[in-house]
Amino acid sequence: MSNGYLLVGPMIENSSRTIEKALAINLDSQIYGTICEIGAGQEVARWFFQAGATAGTVAKTMSAYDMKFSDEIYGHAPGQRYVSRFRLEQMLQREFDLLLSRIQGEKATGTRFFAFANTVCAQGFQKREECHGWVGVRFQMYPQSDPDEIIIHVRMLDSTNLAQQEALGILGVNLIHGGFHLANVPQNLLVGLMDNLLWGRLEIDLVEFNGPNLGAVDSRLMALELVKSSLTRAVLFSPKGSVEIPADALYRNSSLVMRGKFQNVIKSDLDRFIDARKRFQADIQVNHGIGEENILCIAELTMAQTGAIPQVDVADYLARVMRLTDSGFFVLISEFYRFFRLRQYIARYTTEPVALVTDLADLGDMFCEDHYEGLAGGILEGIGKSFPPSTTAYVYPAMSEPSSLADASIKDNVRHVLDYLTSQNQIVLISSCDVEDDE
């Protein structure tokens, strides 16, 4: 186990399924394109060559690992960020345009052209904490039509370079095949991306559809489908309502998080959050020298609270997301039931302070031993993961709740843990008179 994920070596559950997809593309006389890969070998192209009959499908495969060569081919990479969405889009545009200019006149009028590209940061000789990449395909759904495009951001979770290369290759085949055969039902395309991959090898935290046909697909709904289908642990929306890469948004920023169902955005929630932000800002300014501009205000909703994830209504979640982003929040939609999973997720991307805005009822749940079944260290392990250094919970009682931690629903045998965290100012009870409650 590593980072909470099952790690597997270079093993394929049933390699024939991937071969069959690659061969189906190769044998389709209408499909023709290029495959360009940077950062993890030529694993996508390898599947097509291994399937046979590749000459009828692949015009060119290429890697441009040297930065100078890459810049000469695709243009300058701003900030020398070669593993970026910008670089992927440069690759897709360059290769697709080049394909049409050189080949279109030589092919039958019924040909559908494509360009596949990826640029990734895979495991190397020097171990990396975060292995990730951008993967995309630009393709014609119909002959001579303007191209559609599917772009995804992927985290690679295998522990070795070889296993990551293999997983990326399978993902690429699934994406090309899905674009041509499943794009009319985007939910099926998303699920198909993980075909022949064991759970825990890859995580997809962003997907976007563009073009004359796929542009009508709401990428925000598709982001929620990623969580619903367990293709990712969480997706993040910016206050503008767009899907963000969590690693980019959270990096070097402090997080103030409020969990809830948020069927509506009510005044008492906003009052508590505003009050907590003032307290959090004062604390991190004094103790860490962090300014207000480096605080992300996050509202988090978990699909796990609703029970069986397949029954989740993503349209309802999107409506809640939009209400919260309109109020200025980043919104994290997750599959985390327990708070320590959320805390670990944030710690994946930043070491800066984190604060939770909660109430006495939820605090009581956090100190319920039943919530930590399955952890070797039980509640002590769970609380330890919930409150690492630089983590604070601001606890706000409602008018109907007790106003003292002594009255909270917490068993006596774990109260000493609560007392310790309180003495360290990691749990701070806010008097009910400090905020206005509209209940």
For the segment 363-381, the average pLDDT, to the nearest whole number, is 91
In single-letter form, the type of residue at position 65 comes to Y
The model carries a pTM of 0.88
Q: Quick one: pLDDT at residue 124?
A: 75
Q: Quick one: pLDDT at residue 1?
A: 33
pLDDT digits (tens, 9 = 90+) for 256-284: 999 998 988 888 889 999 999 999 999 99
In single-letter form, the type of residue at position 80 comes to Q
For the segment 390-398, the average pLDDT, to the nearest whole number, is 89
Q: Quick one: pLDDT at residue 400?
A: 59
What are the C-alpha distances in Å from 365 to residues 263, 359, 361, 371? 21, 10, 7, 8
Residue 377 has pLDDT above 70, yes or no: yes
Would you tell me how many other CB atoms lie within 10 Å of the CB of residue 141? 17
β-bridge partners, 357: 258, 394
**DSSP letter assigned to residue 214:** G
Output the 3-class SS for 171-196. HHHHHHHHHHHCCCCHHHHHHHCCCC
For the segment 151-164, the average pLDDT, to the nearest whole number, is 93
How far, in Å, CA of 346 to CA of 339, rounded? Answer: 11
Report yes or no: 384 and 260 within 8 Å, Cβ to Cβ: no
331-345, 373-387, 404-418 — which is least confidently predicted? 404-418
Q: What φ, ψ does residue 167 adopt, rounded to 5°?
A: -65, -40
Q: Quick one: pLDDT at residue 359?
A: 87
How far, in Å, CA of 66 to CA of 253, rounded? Answer: 32
Q: Quick one: pLDDT at residue 312?
A: 84
Residue whose tokens read 């070669």: 82
- Give one DSSP letter per residue of 338-361, joined into a string: SHHHHHHHHHHH--S-EEEEE-HH
- Give one DSSP letter per residue of 285-320, joined into a string: HHHH---GGGEEEEEEEEGGGGSSGGG--HHHHHHH
Residue 5 has pLDDT above 70, yes or no: no
pLDDT digits (tens, 9 = 90+) for 107-120: 878 999 999 999 99
Q: Quick one: pLDDT at residue 435?
A: 54
Domain ranges, ordered by start, for the chain: 15-217, 246-434
Residue 22 has pLDDT above 90, yes or no: yes
Report yes or no: 12 and 166 within 8 Å, Cβ to Cβ: yes
Report yes or no: 429 and 404 within 8 Å, Cβ to Cβ: yes
**DSSP letter assigned to residue 240:** T
Q: Quick one: pLDDT at residue 383?
A: 95
Q: Quick one: pLDDT at residue 4?
A: 38
Residue whose tokens read 């006149």: 105
Write out the CATH class of domain 246-434: alpha beta
- Among left, alpha and beta (phi > 0; psi -120 to 50; other), residue 177 is alpha
Q: What rounded mean pLDDT belongs to the chain?
A: 88
Write out the CATH class of domain 15-217: alpha beta
pLDDT digits (tens, 9 = 90+) for 180-222: 999 999 999 999 999 999 989 999 999 999 999 999 999 999 9
How far, in Å, CA of 426 to CA of 390, rounded? Answer: 8
Q: Give the helix/strand (H/E) hosting 49.
A: helix 43-51
- The model's confidence at residue 434, banded by pLDDT at 50, 70 and 90, is low
Q: Give the helix/strand (H/E) hosting 235.
A: strand 234-237
- Give one DSSP letter per residue of 254-270, joined into a string: EEEEEE---SS--HHHH
How far, in Å, CA of 334 to CA of 329, rounded? Answer: 15
For the segment 23-45, the average pLDDT, to the nearest whole number, is 92
- The model's confidence at residue 286, banded by pLDDT at 50, 70 and 90, is confident
